[in-house]
Amino acid sequence: MNYLCAFRRIGLASFIACNVICPNALAQPLPLAADTDAALDLLLTRQAQKILDDHQLSKSRSTGVSVSASVDIRQKKLVISFGAGILPLEDDHSLEQVEQYIRNTLEAYAMQAGMADVETLILYEGKPYWEHFPRDIGAQQQGASRQAADHVLVSAGHGLLRVHPGMEWEFQRPERNDGQEDLITTGYADDLQRLLEERGRVTVHRARRGGGDAHPESMHPWHQMSARYHLKDLLPDRTDIWNHFAHSTASDREVLDDIRARPYYANHLGVAGMLSIHTNADIPGIARGSRVFYHSSKPADKELADLTLCYMREIITAQEGYADFPIPQGGAAAGHGENSFATMPSVVVEVAFHTNATDVAALQDPAFRTASMKGVEKGYRLFREGKGCVPLKVESIQGIQLPQGSSQLVDVAFEGYPQYPIELITTNVGCPPGWTCSDGKVHITAPDDKPSQIVLRCENAGSAPILWDTRVVDADGVKSPPVRHVVQCIRTSRGARGAPAVPAGVEAATAG
């Protein structure tokens, strides 16, 4: 056993060191007492530097580039700063993967130390990456004069392409935990397309092609191929879209082409939105949950990212077994090329981590896949409608008094945007001894089907309060928190209003 882990010296730095050096040790988050912790910053910096050096070696590049990390504990902010010598000569997306690995890894360690939903800022020589490569968004239009409000591009991450100079066909992401991002994302994109068409009534375009017929160059099925090859086949004369880096000598230049091809295709189509579906990764395999990334130079992207996470959280956590699935409150700023070159609102949705075995089990679960894509569709639909993040919630229901043998219609007002049909479910949580109290359910097919009302009855002979919980449950399984309310039954003279002489029940029954 490592002595550092055995003794668990007090402080955040020791907590992180314990998890880095012996990650199987049982450790608990420690209290955050100061704004900074120099030892913690040092340990995070060492981890970032190791990941960067390994990446540079794998690309046969200089390992003399520095990276540092610092944490503001009170503000829950992580700053990752790259030194001079790493920026490419042009914006070619070549740093995206290493930046993502460093970010996810350091965030995972910071969260283990008790810093939930840490905000990360990544700087290159003191500035965000995109500020080093200023560009005119308007000049990126690829022939589209205006955006089509009812068209959207769905882009499933990665896929097969050739690695130069040997020209081998390879997937862009390695297999991890019996799952591979390049193949997982296509099923998610299929679900998302169906939901966008059925619920959002929009026309969906795809960056990658589906189907099992063979791509003629590789003889692999088309659904395994990257967007670059679908767009090459679809638009052979538009080499500016799918062969942007033709001059490059990098072995992974088709990866760079593939990233750029997706937003350029969205611009060419003139779609109103672009939704990119990926799975995520960190180095130690401890990070979990969904992330949605936006480009900080495009304000609408942040709004779309936040709404997407809001409704992913609402629907995913409503499913059995996923109540605690980690989903942050808001989107994260990043410089992904896949959406930074898109002229329309666009986000990168990292559904879960393929480097984490628990998340991979979720990624392979059809129920999770459908729930997560329902959340993405709902977020995009409500973004288009100009609506916000409003979780399903029943408003307070005032108590009522009822004479025995009588009933009353009660309005159930709620906020949120449930998927119809919905049910108003009333459950008894306090029935007087000797009385009979039965639950009730109202089914509402559409918003204009009938009023959101329940019928409450008092049919017992006697006076007593009855306690009820009422909630809304929608077609996606989303349940509003139950609202507690009271019916005070009042005894009348014997035989009045035909009231029974013996208890006959208190009921929340179907309206009408």
Contact criterion met (CB below 8 Å) for 313 and 276: no
Mean per-residue pLDDT over the chain, rounded: 87
**Other CB atoms closer than 10 Å to residue 451's CB: what's the count?**
12
Q: Which residues pair with 487 in a beta bridge?
A: 400, 466
Instruction: Give residues with Cβ within 8 angstroms of 488, minimum separation 6.
Output: 399, 400, 401, 402, 463, 464, 465, 466
Task: Give the residue among 48, 95, 135, 104 at the shortest CA–CA distance from 252.
Answer: 95
Give dist(CA 356, CA 149) in Å, integer. 37
Q: Which residues of the chain have pLDDT under 50?
A: 1-17, 20-33, 138-145, 495-512
pLDDT tens digits, one per residue of 276-326: 999 999 999 999 999 999 998 888 999 999 999 999 999 999 999 999 999
Phi-psi map region of 435: left, alpha, beta (phi>0 left; psi -120 to 50 alpha): beta
Name residues whose C-beta falls within 8 Å of residue 220's C-beta, 6 or more positions apart in sequence. 160, 169, 214
State residue 195's pLDDT score: 98
pLDDT value at residue 113: 76
Amino acid at 47: Q
What are the two backbone dihedrals, phi and then psi, of residue 454, each rounded to the nearest 5 degrees? -120, 155
Domains assigned to the chain: 3-124 (3.30.300), 144-384 (3.40.630.40), 393-509 (2.60.40.10)
Q: Are 156 and 208 in contact (CB under 8 A)?
A: yes
Rg of the chain over Cα atoms, rounded to whole angstroms, equals 28
Please say whether the beta carbons of 487 and 399 come within 8 A: yes
Which residues share a beta bridge with 275?
154, 347
Give me the residue label for tokens 């930074």: 340
What's the rounded Cα separation, in Å, for the pair 29 and 446? 47
The packing angle between helices 12-21 and 96-112, to 10°, is 120
**What per-residue confidence (pLDDT) applies to 146?**
52
User: How many other CB atoms are there within 10 angstroms of residue 138's CB atom?
Assistant: 7
pLDDT at 142: 40
Block residue for tokens 């092609």: 209
Separation between Cα atoms, residue 136 and residue 139, nearest integer Å: 5
Tokens of 297: 């130079």
Amino acid at 268: H
Closest to 186 (Cα-Cα) out of 265, 279, 87:
279
